[in-house]
Every structure is written in C-alpha cells, then in structure tokens.
Amino acid sequence: MKTNAFEVASRYVYPSLRRRLVGVLRERGLKQTEIAELLHITQSAVSRYLGEERGKLIDVSSFPDVDREVRELAERILAERPGEYWIHTELVKLSLEFLGKGYGCSFHAGIDPDINPEECRVCIELFG
C-alpha cells in the first residue's frame, strides 16, 4: 500500500468536498469574495475550486447522500456564519463518512495499484 486512507482523505476527499461546497455556495448566487469570507479561505482558492484546478478528482455530487450533506452544510454556514475550525471539523467528518461508506475504495485502487478493494476494509472498519 503506497497511499494510506488518511492520505486519500486529506489529498483527495477533503478537497473534493470543499470544491462541492464552494460550488453549492456559488449556485446560491454568492460572489467568490463572499464565499472566501464565509469559508475562511482565499478568493484565489475559491477561484481554483470553481475552475476545477483543486478537488476535481472525485465528483462527490455523484453520491446523493454526500451531496445532500454538503448542501445542508452550506445552508448552515449561510445561516450561522461559523468559524473556520467548525467548518474544518465538519469537512473532516464528511471525509471520514465518505471513506467509511466505501465510496473511496475504487478511487483509492485507481491511484494505488497495490490496493485490492475486495480485501481492504480499512476505511469501512475504521470510519464506517
């Protein structure tokens, strides 16, 4: 195993979730600067998410339950305007839930040919 579960979460899943969150906020009509302020990230980062330069390897919107949770998170952020640590905590939780449901297995096997998704149950057992 060249790439472990935590690397998959931090390098691929988390950025993909954040990209989707930025996209949902953009769908709500927010400007890049407003999104950046809400999420406590730079406007440049927002631009890279929207331009699919970041977080594009996993389309989390293709998982209806995850997409619903990201949309709910966006609504909560709009309503409550929480701090950056709260948002980070929620994105980490979503990342681990994503892995725990086995959604990252085929992706993980695609980037690490040593992974056999039929044998590896690390994420499902740890985070499921």
pLDDT by residue (tens digit) across 27-36? Answer: 999 999 999 9
pLDDT for the residue 3: 86
pLDDT, position 101: 95
Residues contacting residue 128 through CB under 8 Å, at least 6 positions apart? 100, 101, 102
End-to-end CA distance of the chain: 20
62 DSSP 8-state letter = G
Q: What is the pLDDT of residues 29-76, one digit of tens each?
A: 999 999 999 999 999 999 999 998 889 999 999 999 999 999 999 999
pLDDT at 1 over 70: no
Tell me: pLDDT of 106 over 90. no
pTM (two decimals):
0.93
- Residue 69: CB atoms within 10 Å: 19
